[in-house]
A and B are shown apart, each in its own frame.
Chain A
């Protein structure tokens, strides 16, 4: 089926052919990440587990976006809620500047 597509592309103008190739390369380099909570149903999101929540924070303590962490919308929402609760209870910092203050 792939060969069939390529053949059709060659018949079109050169410009269009090039564009098609680029698109294909782009898609191949971008591997779609799967949501780790959907993949492993046993994995629970707990606001008391600071170590686990750290994996969804940047160095500065900001929440890593969905497009990078690969979470699905629903689970990203749960993670965000858990992080915000953990911040209130001082499990994780609001910003890293607070860490240097306290130590």
Chain B
């Protein structure tokens, strides 16, 4: 049969954002795939070298549009490690609750994209509605729907307003009450099983070799989660589990997303119960004259897509000398995706890409 070169994206219904693929196909079988990122490249790491430490906050949260909060967290952690700033205990708890809410919102967005792509429009509409309820919480707390700039070096920007705890509980109960509906319509649906089982298989050895993190490696049975491996914020204060599965295909990756959401909700309840009283913010030096001592730091945290890292160098100046983000989608969207697409069917491209949870702005930065 004749070989063809097929361009997939960026203007395409089955695409994860602004990203494209070049596929070598024979019939409808993919022989070779090469990813083509760069449609969203803004040169953040270069721009950050020209802005002061505090002015970088609006920059970093725009790297991952779907979950900006883990980006703020990682940058705050980097600044705190370089400058040696301590964070109050209550701020640790608020940070964890905030990040877990963001994880729920981000997973619901991912579920929207995945369900929409498979044709489960009803589930997609529900997921997007429930995400909006989480965004309402963020809006009340920080004033922004999408970008919050809430986590700062030294703590968080403000304490929870009065009655906010009850609102979190109420919203999470609303979302959690719909889990049986989600299960019966989507997760336990035979169509979803037929469509996603044994699609886009990544074995554990392959995933480890190619730098897989997050759902990709947890779907192969390894409980690799930075919140457990290298605990930060208040994640070591409460008991919780890392959901894993054995198969390593699209089906198990999406099931892990579901289990993680439920685990996050339970974790938020536990954190709310154990939250201590006190200060939420340690004063930092005047941000306009702030100089951070010479040194370098590598910090990492768990975003909703996997391990997120930041390598930051300071030369004692007002701006970072160099910052480099290690984003989970970088290895998932370039190496793992190219490997998983080899030998797959054209109709499964969107399925594999969405289940790997690739976000294009994270790759391009």
Q: Do A and B interact?
A: no
Instruction: Give residues in A with beta carbon < 8 Å to B.
Output: none
Give the A-binding residues of B (Cβ under 8 A): none
